[in-house]
Chain A
């Protein structure tokens, strides 16, 4: 469709563009050659958006959509796929859905929710190639990933020896070599416990990690500092220790305190906001966590909400999966050489269950108590808390207290009676939703051209029919424009698109390779020269600028 790529005028919609201070103003959005512009010619195609809601395309800051772990989950759940066939159309390809859809279906289903960018949150460097290849088959959305470095033995060795500068150089090398957009830490130190002490886990963040003379907290702090000093566009993306355990509030607070003075992103914080005693019933710890986040500007977070129904635990936190596994369910644990672990387990959250209800409620509480939507972002840690396909329902829960109250009647009453949730009557506005799903993630990721609709922004635009039922509204955008191309028109796909691959390239001293190479040749199963992802893997890609590179960051609303 040639007319698709040239010029568009989205006329008369209510625009929600919080990054530029626009809150529901009726105005036209003009598009030329894949960008939002100030002027288009007379020939521009007009899309009538009268009475509709116009937002930038949404950005998922934390999900798991590609790579070996997702494939494991797909292979584990053929029943899930058989019951949810995703047929092709004239312009799109077919696939299967379920909790972890096939590559094509993942891209299309994200697009049908108005998402145009997504970041896979956990990719070991060894799997980077696989992930990039899968990304190439994940249509419509732009995508990138964070590379798992938090249990990397070589990096731990450098820390043990106190070689701070080499540590920083090595991180930069790894990010560049894997073509990552950021650095992810998962339960730092736990892999040593898990592999070295028969499925043990970190319980105390101040306990030494054998044989490195280093505590999990020290390791985490070192990563936070190095990533910040390297000026990576996105700060260290941290999955704290003790995920899912009662009483992990303290661990999470300790981790955030360790980040003082540096930027840090605390991932899926809902799973880390549990009060109570270890081994006993979960209690809500949302207040303590969100109070800290509200008062500390250096912390950003995504919530990792839980929604009842089918999910899949999918994590580099191998000891956690080992602990959660039940008799009778399918589960996989895997060890990724010297850099990570992995666990995958299909899981169902039940509204009758005390703990599951608690998790659901804590996710909502964190949002409703949050004071700065720019730092508290939307995610379900897809597919851990719920599939991304539940986003519209969760958005409605945030926006509609009546719906919330209705749902609270049907959950575990024992759990809900101890929660703060019944007392909270805040409702998110459309503008706040635009922040937590669009503007804030784009800003946290250093994506200067995404998450807003100012001149020069990528023309990733969603147009929704304004519906009182926000679930219906966010479930089916009327139009989706990706890179200036009309992809969805009147709820139907009219075009296909292969999104861009986003990564970053911090500078580093090439001499660090000579340090890494010998370790590598000794302990890895592949040769060093085959490890780095070479340029042939980068088809349509974009380098996210570093923070100091003069790529001016957009200022927020005044």
Chain B
């Protein structure tokens, strides 16, 4: 059983809908859900003004329609499931600590900020600042998984502290900037300056990467841990080449302007 919400009125300006999360709707009646408040620009509106609600409040939430102007879907969720059939707006899963979000289309900027657990899966592309710290904060996501099957833009996983971010397509510039720890895997290449200012953590690329001069070559290796990660990603629908599994990786240490304890692993083409 799930609760279904279909976006029937397209919002002119973005909606901030922190209420679209299982924890907020669980146990509510259909009209209770329709009466939940959200912000449409600077005005308070009701869920029922924009969504057609079917069913009462369940732990599983299905959202239909083009929600690219609906922000904060699944914000603060601790359990349950949100499936978006279409695209999702900014701040998807902000501050979530458990549960699962799956978006069949694209997601916008700021996927999973301040996340500490749970899983976000986007089948399409995502915007800038995926899994990143909010501006001014020293530490980004503290755990959980963000899986993007398409491409992402700049500053993927900035200042992340823990967890896994995987991108099936390409990533923009500054992947893992100021990263504290955790793992970022990008399959189809990334822009310039990956790992700038990283303290610890692992960034994996299967394509050649242009590195900063503050990264230095240390050795090559065949990391065992990566095979587990890749098996896991393969089960989640990523295309994992055999060459990734058994391949040799060149390990670069950095960023030496920080503690030089981070690493970037680049698949050796040979």
Contact = CB atoms under 8 A, between A and B. Distances in A.
Interface of A: 76-80, 82, 328
**Interface SS majority for chain B:** loop
A387 B135 CA distance: 22
Contacts of B138: 328
Contacts of A82: 134, 136
A79 B138 CA distance: 9
A80 B137 CA distance: 9
| Interchain residue pairs A-B with the least CB separation, the first 8 | A79-B136, A78-B136, A79-B137, A78-B135, A77-B136, A79-B134, A82-B134, A79-B135
Interface in B130-160: 134-138
Nearest to A327: B258
Contacts of B134: 78-79, 82
Contacts of A79: 134-137
B214 to A, nearest CB: 15
Contacts of B137: 79
Contacts of A76: 136
Nearest to B135: A78
Contacts of A328: 138
13 contacts: A76-B136, A77-B136, A78-B134, A78-B135, A78-B136, A79-B134, A79-B135, A79-B136, A79-B137, A80-B136, A82-B134, A82-B136, A328-B138
A174 B136 CA distance: 37
A82 B136 CA distance: 10
A269 B136 CA distance: 32
A76 B135 CA distance: 10
Contacts, number: 13
Interface residues of B, number: 5
B158 to A, nearest CB: 13
A90 B165 CA distance: 45
Nearest to A78: B136
Interface in B97-148: 134-138
B222 to A, nearest CB: 34
A214 B135 CA distance: 46
Given A79-B135, A82-B136, 4 more contacts: A76-B136, A79-B136, A80-B136, A82-B134
Nearest to B199: A328
* B134, B136, B137, most chain A CB atoms within 10 A: B136
Nearest to B133: A79
A328 B134 CA distance: 16
A272 B143 CA distance: 44
Nearest to B138: A328
Contacts of A80: 136
A313 B242 CA distance: 55
A82 B134 CA distance: 9
Nearest to A82: B134
Nearest to A328: B138
Nearest to B137: A79
B18 to A, nearest CB: 13
B83 to A, nearest CB: 29
Contacts of B136: 76-80, 82
A122 B138 CA distance: 29
A76 B138 CA distance: 12
Contacts of A78: 134-136
Contacts of A77: 136
A79 B140 CA distance: 12
A39 to B, nearest CB: 48
Contacts of B135: 78-79
A328 B138 CA distance: 9
Nearest to A80: B136
A245 to B, nearest CB: 28
A77 B138 CA distance: 11
Interface in B213-250: none
Nearest to A346: B136
A80 B135 CA distance: 10
A76 B136 CA distance: 7
B60 to A, nearest CB: 30
Nearest to A329: B138
Interface string B1-43: 0000000000000000000000000000000000000000000
B78 to A, nearest CB: 19
